[in-house]
Amino acid sequence: MTVRIAIDCMGGDHGLPVTIPAAFAFLRHVPDVRLVLVGHSDAIEQALARLSPKVSPGERGRVEIRHASEVVAMDDSLQVALRGKRDSSMRVAVEQVKAGHADACVSAGNTGALMAISRFVLKTLDGIDRPAIATQMPNQTGGTTTMLDLGANVDCEPQHLLQFAIMGSALVTALGGPERPSVGLLNIGEELIKGNDIVKQAAELLRASSLNFRGNVEGNDIYEGTTDVVVCDGFVGNVALKASEGLARMLGGFIREEYKRHIFTRLMALLSFPVLIRFRKRLDHRRYNGASLVGLRGVVIKSHGSADAYAFEVALRRAYDAAGNGLLERIEQTLSRMKSAPVAEAPAVGQT
């Protein structure tokens, strides 16, 4: 099966200098993929010309260009992105998925704009009220923990958290994880009595579902790998994500400063260099680039806006894996199974 991926070549902090080299590096590593490069056609052709000595005729033959006359800026409002720039590279890339010309779309552009455009163009899957942003985070087991939502939905009801769990489980399986991933609900404690009313009611829904629900988990469980999936609302998830990114940058800066400070520290660093290299690689956020906008009628991957070519290539791999392994079909199958064995609705917030 050949997977077709549409790329918003103009989006993000860097645009073409990142997206074009990443696209062709990805082509070299993955033979059964075709790419649709979306953006200003003249600018894309110029970028291809600069890269041409490194591009084989076979690789160039697996690429097509779709012109888009506009670009969604990182600071554009949702109104401008959705209604004012209808021929933006972001929107045209998403429309390739809608039209069946691509199996997935990847953009490093404005997150809010990408979610709004994707939801408007693709719509949500039956049984899903709100799309969510999901990503994988490294854990102590050597694997990853899939976490959602990371900012798309600040205010959630219990049934939304249940839907996030369904989508997160399907995503883990589609990306090569177990058939029945374990699910944890992020809370301030493992005990049943902990949390606010919404979290408690979400836990009841999850316990009554056919998902592999392991109960409440705490923030440290994300990195300990206690469960395959961690579910929370977008406010909590975004704070946790940004705190994690800040901690990783702080640790990297601390190591660099200590290396500069003392000759003894430098000598110790040389001795421990292999360990430090592995540690840095493990915490390298570029290796985990590519958040999935799950719950839509199409595969959409959001790359970090500041991604370099290596990180953007990782995001392309996420799109390839999700589309090639039937992410949408897996979500729909899980929803269908749960509909055939319905659970009781959560009580209204504030009731018991």
CATH superfamily of 1-122: Isopropylmalate Dehydrogenase (3.40.718.10)
Q: What is the pLDDT of residues 286-323, one digit of tens each?
A: 788 999 999 999 999 999 999 999 999 999 999 999 99
- Parse the chain into domains and list their residue ranges: 1-122, 125-293+328-352
pLDDT digits (tens, 9 = 90+) for 204-229: 999 999 999 999 999 999 999 999 99
Out of 2.60.40.10, 3.40.50.2000, 3.40.718.10, 3.40.50.11540, which CATH number does the structure's domain 125-293+328-352 have?
3.40.718.10
Question: What distance in Å separates the CA atoms of residue 342 and residue 133, rounded to the nearest whole number?
Answer: 26
User: In terms of Cα–Cα distance, which of 144, 183, 113 is closest to 314?
Assistant: 144
Sequence-ordered list of residues with C-beta below 8 angstroms from that of 62, at least 6 positions apart, any chain? 27, 33, 34, 35
Q: Which residue has the tokens 């390839």?
A: 320
Confidence of residue 38 (pLDDT cuts 50, 70, 90): very high
- Residues 289/322, Cβ–Cβ less than 8 Å: no
Overall average pLDDT of the 6-30 stretch = 96
d(CA 38, CA 89): 6
Tokens of 130: 């709100």
Q: Do domains 1-122 and 125-293+328-352 have the same CATH topology?
A: yes
